[in-house]
Structure 1
Amino acid sequence: MQTKKMADQQANQENTHVENTSGSAQRARLLERLQAGPIDTFTAMRELNIVRPGARINELRDMGHRIMTQRLTLTDDQGRSHRGMALYYLSTNPPAEVTA
C-alpha cells in the first residue's frame, strides 16, 4: 500500500503563492489581501486562486478575525449579473460606502 504525503499545514510567505492550494496558504493570502482593503468573491477566486472564498472566510473568523460581509450585485467575466455576492472586509478596514 502506498502512503500519501500530507500537505504542509503551515503557511508562510514562501509557500503562500497562488499555486499553493493548501487551506493555510489560501487563508494567509486572503488575510493579507483583506488587510489591504475589501475583496469580493470573484476577485478572491480570480486573483488569489481560492475556489471557495466563503469557506476560507469562515475559517479566518473561527480563528478570531473580525471579518464583515456586505452583499451586493456583481457582474462576472462573461457579463452575467449575480445578486447577493459577498464583499468581505476587516471590521477595522471597511469600504468607503459601508459604515461600521
Structure 2
Amino acid sequence: MEQKLSSIETQQAAILAYLQSNHSLSTFEAREKLDVMHPGSRIQELRAKGHNIITYRRTINGHRKVAEYVLLAAIGEVA
C-alpha cells in the first residue's frame, strides 16, 4: 500500500519527484499513485517556487480535458 501524503510540502515534493522521474503526471495519476486529491493547487505552488511546469488538456479513458502536467528543464538543465 502506498503511503498517504498529508502536508502540502510533502505533496509538492512527491509531485516534483514524480515529474522528474516520469516527465508528466495526469490528474488521475496524482490521485491514484500519489494520493494528491487537488494536484492543480500543488502545481500552482510549485510554479510559484520557480518550477517550469506546463499543462496540457487530454482525453484519458473517455474523460475530456484531464490535466496532464509536464516539467520542462530550466536553462542549462537536462530533464
The TM-score range, normalised by the shorter chain, is 0.7 to 0.9
Identity %: 39
Separation in structure 1 between the aligned mates of residue 3 and residue 55 of structure 2, nearest angstrom: 23
Give 4+ residue runs of structure 1 displaced > 6 Å after superposition.
none
Instruction: List runs of 5+ in structure 1 lacking aligned partners.
Output: 1-16, 76-80, 93-100
Query: Deviation of residue 91 (structure 1)?
Result: 1.4
Greater per-residue helix proportion? 2
Greater per-residue strand proportion? 2
Question: Considering only CA atoms, is the larger Rg found in Structure 1 or Structure 2?
Answer: 1
Instruction: List runs of 5+ in structure 2 lacking aligned partners.
Output: 74-79
TM-align CA RMSD: 1.3
With a CA cutoff of 8 Å and minimum separation of 6, indicate the structure with the bigger relative contact order.
2
| Secondary structure at the counterpart of residue 17 of structure 2 | helix
Residues 42-83 of structure 1 show CA distances to partners (whole Å, capped at 9, x for unaligned) of 0011000100000100000011100011110012xxxxx211
| Secondary structure at the counterpart of residue 4 of structure 2 | coil
